[in-house]
Amino acid sequence: MKISVIGAGSWGTAIVSILSKKNHVNWWVRRERLKNQILLKKRNTKYLTNCKLNTKNITFHKEIDTVIQNSDLIIIAIPSGFIFSVFKSKGKLLDNKTVLSAVKGVIPENNTTPHDFFKSISPKLNYGDISGPCHAEEVALEKQSYLTVSTTNTEIQTQIRKFFNTKFINLKMSNDIIGTEYAAILKNIYAILVGAAYGLGYGDNFIAVLITSCANEMKRLLQSLDPKERTISQPAFLGDLLVTCYSSHSRNRSLGVLIGKGYSVENAIEKMTMFAEGFHAAKSIYARVQKLKIKKQTPIISSTYNILYKEKDPKAELKKLEWLIS
């Protein structure tokens, strides 16, 4: 099975570093200069600069059509904001291919999840997603990390186990594609509000209860979005939520911290070096909440939306939550 990775950012680089240890990888790197630097330095000189890459097992591609045509399994690791422009005309090329999305956000052009978007342009493709507490920065350092790959195709599950077979990756398989994908989207929204609480100077006690309430709200919301028996304490749900809310590597938490410290949403986004997926996700999920008429069950989503899109004071929104979540 021929495998490719789309994206040369931090997460794409981390995934390539894992796969290329024992497997050949087709890697879509758009910028010629970056490709040449990677070949020369054996590392990505822009992202995860301490992550050594086995370039002998990597074939670089500038044209995405060539990558798709020469791959059976395609791992998507670009920001959600670029998915539509990159793939909108690639439906036919993706027919009968397997797409694994490592994207933890919504497609802003049409407010869809990656699953819904890819299935809409290519109903014949096999789809799955990668989630779990697995920050790219720690994967690059080969620190113990945890991935959940969700797919209903047992043959693909077997292949994935071989590809990600390393000492520092604990791999779990799931068939809950919709649940794990939504969880990966939701945790970014929650991390923004938790970050705002940090920025405002809230203590550990409140933060702990806030994150607990985020997990409970996630469970309720998932049940409304995709009714199914699931255990929220699994790594792809609670684990990813915790690391995104607590870790200094979390760009969504970092965005929230800036907002909590007094930056406007616009200025906070401008100050970020990487885009926080939770920003677009908050708008999309809030719209789903309204459509499902479950706003009373999701006060944390509502508060985050109010801060990001209605210019509400984060201090006032968190003050309201102090008693709602207790």
CATH of the domain at 133: 3.40.50.720
Same domain, 184 and 280: yes
Tokens at 177, concatenated = 């594609």
Same domain, 122 and 228: no
Q: How many domains does the chain have?
A: 2
Same domain, 231 and 296: yes
Please, where are the H alpha helices in 132-176?
136-140, 154-163
Task: Mark which of 156, 175, 194 sits at the end of a domain.
Answer: 175
Same domain, 135 and 236: no
Task: Mark which of 142, 157, 175 sits at the end of a domain.
Answer: 175
Neighbours of 288 (CB within 10 A): 18
Q: Give the list of residues 6+ apart from residue 270 with CB closer than 8 angstroms, or none.
A: none
Active site residues: 187
Same domain, 157 and 183: no
- Residue 24 and residue 150 in contact, taking contact as beta carbons nearer than 8 Å: no
Same domain, 68 and 23: yes
Of 5, 1, 46, the C-alpha closest to 25 is 5
Same domain, 294 and 195: yes
Same domain, 142 and 166: yes
Per-residue pLDDT for the chain (326 aa), expressed as one digit of tens each? 899 999 988 999 999 998 998 899 999 998 888 989 989 899 888 888 888 899 999 999 999 999 999 999 999 999 999 999 999 999 999 999 999 999 999 998 988 999 999 999 999 999 999 999 988 888 888 899 999 999 998 888 888 888 888 889 899 999 999 999 999 999 999 999 999 999 999 999 999 999 999 999 999 999 999 999 999 999 999 999 999 999 988 999 999 999 999 999 999 999 988 889 999 999 999 999 999 999 899 999 999 999 999 999 999 999 999 988 76
Domain extent at residue 317:
178-324
Q: Considering Cα of 160, then 163, then 167, then 169, what sign does the dihedral take?
A: negative
Distances (CA, A) of 275 to 128, 161, 266, 268: 23, 30, 12, 10
Same domain, 104 and 193: no
Return the CATH number at 247.
1.10.1040.10
Of 186, 182, 214, the C-alpha closest to 318 is 214
Strand partners, 148: 131, 172
Of 236, 211, 208, 207, the C-alpha closest to 222 is 236
Same domain, 200 and 241: yes
